[in-house]
Structure formats: structure tokens, C-alpha cells
């Protein structure tokens, strides 16, 4: 936004005031709030220009003005330009530890979604990296009778994947234990997709097939690493907070029951929401999507604040979803702090 400093300050003051009260902001209030020492007439003229440029709108002729999505974007960009380092991550990490989150992926992310929801008063979410980037730690084979075997894959950080395979031949517990021991020695520490490729490479080396134990272990491994689910697990907390927003919403800026229902359905169909969120996350760091910036028209009453974290094996996401009239400074600080805290907690387990 190429605007004189006083236009920027008046717009920022208007957005802050509207976020705080939810009421159209009159020019008389902005005279003092912007701290410019100018007259009401000057403020009104500036507001007229801001409205012409699409940063604010006037719901009713006699009312004050409210920010548009473009106005919110200006405000958020200004926050990101001027934000100072906040000591939120240590507080969030202390909260995660105090609330009993063990240093395991599922426990930490479930609690993290709860913490960011409570702190922001919006829907909190956390997305675990896909299995494809998980690092193989160990495998266990448990006989289920006949030729069926339960496979338990443990990835670094405590992520557990289970599947049942049919090995096509009867194997006793000792056979399975020896096979698991061989695979754990050979492939521990590799990403799951690399472990799968390594197994195929080994099976193509004919000399190994003369060893019955190795051949059996590799056949088991081939079935183990094939068709692993690739879904990103999603943890969501605080969806009920949107019900309050919908009930209190007034005017065009509010969340209607229809848009609320759309989001709740997406939360219920978690992989649909994951796919949408992943479309926004194109690199590490902070992502903010405001109102009309959503490609899905049904979500244009919402804003998204998300940040990536690293668990030592892959990249996941933590964030909040709420109305466009959210307290952005708080949401940004909480989300970034949670992402940093989760990174520290999970990297230390790998």
C-alpha cells in the first residue's frame, strides 16, 4: 500500500478498533486513536480515499467504517513488517510439558492443537508429516495365525503404523523375530520411502537370495513397505468456538451458519481440509490467508494463520482458523510460538 504515513496509521487504528469492538468505527474516534493530531474533517477525507481504494467500507450511510479483506491484509502485512521477537514459544513448550504431552508425535500435536485453540479462541489444528517422510526406526511382526501377520512399524518420534499382511506361507514367532531383527539392523534410520527402495534393490541382488533368512526378511519387508497410507494426520480442537461467532455475527462480515457448516464438514472430512491447507503451504515459515484470498468462496468469511514445524524427519503445520475479524497479533504469536515449541520437542526425540 503506497499511502502517506497518516493514511497508514488511520487505517491501522481503524482495523484495531474494529477487531476490538466489532462495531463500525466513526471518524471522531479515529482522531484520537491514530495519534496524529489532525481534525475530524481531515480524518473523514482520508477515510473517503481509503474507501475509494477498497481498504474500508461503510455498512450504512450514517455508520462508521469497517475494514475490507484488503484492509485486513494491509494491517497484517504491517504487523509482519514491524513485529518484534516474542517469547511465546518457551511459554507454549512449558504448557505442552505441563499438560502432560509426552515427546511423541501424536501426543504433542494433539495437545498443540488444543493449546493454540485455547490461546487464540479460534479453531486450532496441527498436521503431522506424511508417512512418506517418516524415518524408519524398527519393525515388529506378530503372527495372527495361518499365513497372516500383523506388522507394527515404529518411526522416529514414536509414530506407529500398523497393517496386516498375508505372507503366503506359515511362519512361526522365531522366524518373524529373526526377520525383524535383520530388517532393523539393515534399514533403521532411513526414510520409509528410501527403505522401500533399498529393499527392492536388495531383492534384485541374487546372491542374497541364497540366504533363506535374508530372503524371507526381504519378502516380509517388501509387503511391509508397500501401500503404506500417505495421509497427513490432522488434529483439530475448538470447533465449538465458531458456533459462538456465528450466533454473534452481524452484517456482511460475520460468519453465517452456511459458511460455518461448510467448514465443519471439512473438519469432519479431515483429509479434505488437509488437502486445502496443503495448497496454501508452499514453503517453511508463516502463511496467512484472509477472507477473499481463499479460492473456495464458501470459506471467505474465515482467515487462516499457519506456520510450519520440523520433527527431524519431515515438515508439518500448526495453525488456527477463525473469522476475518480475528486478533491477528495474538494469533500470529501463538501459532509461531507453538510451531517453534513443537519443533524443539519433536527434534529432541529423534
pLDDT tens track for 7-64: 988 999 999 999 999 899 998 888 876 666 778 888 899 999 999 999 999 987 777 8
In the chain, CATH 1.10.10.10 sits at: 5-66
For residue 138, the tally of other CB atoms under 10 A from its CB is 16
d(Cα 72, Cα 56) in Å, to the nearest integer? 9
Q: What is the mean pLDDT of residues 320-327?
A: 91
d(Cα 301, Cα 294) in Å, to the nearest integer? 9
Q: What is the pTM of this model?
A: 0.71
Residue 251 pLDDT greater than 50, yes or no: no
Cβ–Cβ under 8 Å, residues 75 and 11: yes
Taking domain 89-129+232-347, whether its CATH number is 3.30.450.40 is answered by: yes
Fold of 5-66: Arc Repressor Mutant, subunit A (1.10.10)
In the chain, CATH 3.30.390.60 sits at: 132-225
pLDDT at 12: 93
pLDDT at 252: 40
Number of H helices, E strands in the chain: 13, 10
Confidence of residue 86 (pLDDT cuts 50, 70, 90): low
Residues 6+ apart with CB under 8 A from 160: 152, 153, 154
Least confident of 85-89, 129-133, 335-339: 85-89
Q: How much is the CA Rg of the chain, to the nearest whole Å?
A: 26
pLDDT at 15: 95
Fold of 132-225: Enolase-like; domain 1 (3.30.390)
Q: Which residue has the higher pLDDT, 89 or 268?
A: 268
Q: Strand locations in the chain, DSSP E? A: 56-57, 66-67, 123-127, 136-145, 148-155, 159-166, 234-237, 286-290, 302-310, 315-323
Taking only the tens place, the pLDDT of each residue in 270-310 is 777 777 777 777 677 899 999 999 888 878 888 999 999 98
pLDDT at 208: 56
251: left (phi over 0), alpha (psi -120 to 50) or beta: left
Mean pLDDT taken over the chain: 80
Pairing status of strand 315-323 against strand 302-310: antiparallel
In the chain, CATH 3.30.450.40 sits at: 89-129+232-347
Q: What is the mean pLDDT of residues 320-325?
A: 90
Which cell is 196 given? 522401500
Taking only the tens place, the pLDDT of each residue in 197-240 is 888 787 777 555 556 777 778 888 888 777 665 556 788 888 77
d(Cα 84, Cα 141) in Å, to the nearest integer? 51
d(Cα 323, Cα 245) in Å, to the nearest integer? 8
Cβ–Cβ under 8 Å, residues 188 and 138: yes
Residue 138 pLDDT greater than 70, yes or no: yes
Amino acid at each position: 500500500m503506497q499511502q502517506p504515513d497518516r493514511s497508514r496509521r488511520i487505517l491501522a487504528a481503524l482495523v484495531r478498533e474494529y477487531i476490538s469492538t466489532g462495531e463500525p468505527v466513526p471518524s471522531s474516534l479515529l482522531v484520537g486513536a491514530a495519534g496524529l493530531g489532525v481534525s475530524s474533517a481531515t480524518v473523514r477525507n482520508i477515510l473517503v480515499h481509503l474507501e475509494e481504494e477498497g481498504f474500508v467500507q461503510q455498512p450504512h450511510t450514517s455508520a462508521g467504517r469497517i475494514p475490507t479483506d484488503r484492509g485486513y491484509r494491509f494491517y497484517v502485512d504491517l504487523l509482519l513488517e514491524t513485529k518484534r521477537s516474542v517469547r511465546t514459544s518457551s511459554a507454549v513448550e512449558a504448557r505442552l510439558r505441563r499438560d502432560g504431552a509426552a515427546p511423541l508425535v501424536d501426543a504433542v500435536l494433539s495437545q498443540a492443537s488444543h493449546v493454540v485453540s485455547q490461546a487464540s479462541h479460534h479453531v486450532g489444528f496441527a498436521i503431522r508429516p506424511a508417512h512418506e517422510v517418516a524415518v524408519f526406526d524398527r519393525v515388529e511382526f506378530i503372527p495372527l495365525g495361518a499365513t497372516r501377520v500383523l506388522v507394527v512399524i515404529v518411526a522416529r518420534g514414536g509414530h506407529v503404523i500398523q497393517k496386516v499382511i498375508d505372507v503366503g506361507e506359515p511362519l512361526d514367532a522365531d522366524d518373524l523375530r529373526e526377520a525383524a531383527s535383520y530388517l532393523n539392523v539393515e534399514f533403521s534410520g532411513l526414510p520409509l520411502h528410501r527403505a522401500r527402495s533399498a529393499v527392492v534393490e536388495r531383492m534384485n541382488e541374487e546372491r542374497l537370495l541364497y540366504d533363506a533368512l535374508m530372503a524371507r526378511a526381504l519378502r516380509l519387508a517388501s509387503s511391509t513397505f508397500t501401500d503404506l497410507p500417505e495421509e497427513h494426520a490432522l488434529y483439530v480442537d475448538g470447533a465449538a468456538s465458531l458456533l459462538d461467532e456465528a450466533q454473534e455475527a452481524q452484517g456482511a462480515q460475520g460468519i453465517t451458519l452456511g459458511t460455518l457448516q461448510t467448514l465443519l464438514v471439512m473438519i469432519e472430512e479431515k483429509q479434505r481440509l488437509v488437502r486445502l491447507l496443503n495448497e496454501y503451504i508452499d514453503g517453511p515459515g508463516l502463511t496467512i490467508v484472509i477472507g477473499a484470498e481463499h479460492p473456495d468462496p464458501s470459506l471467505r468469511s474465515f482467515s487462516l494463520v499457519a506456520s510450519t514445524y520440523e520433527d527431524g524427519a519431515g515438515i508439518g503445520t500448526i495453525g488456527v482458523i477463525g473469522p476475518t475479524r480475528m486478533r491477528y497479533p495474538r494469533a500470529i504469536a501463538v501459532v509461531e510460538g507453538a510451531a517453534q515449541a513443537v519443533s524443539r520437542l519433536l527434534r529432541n526425540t529423534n
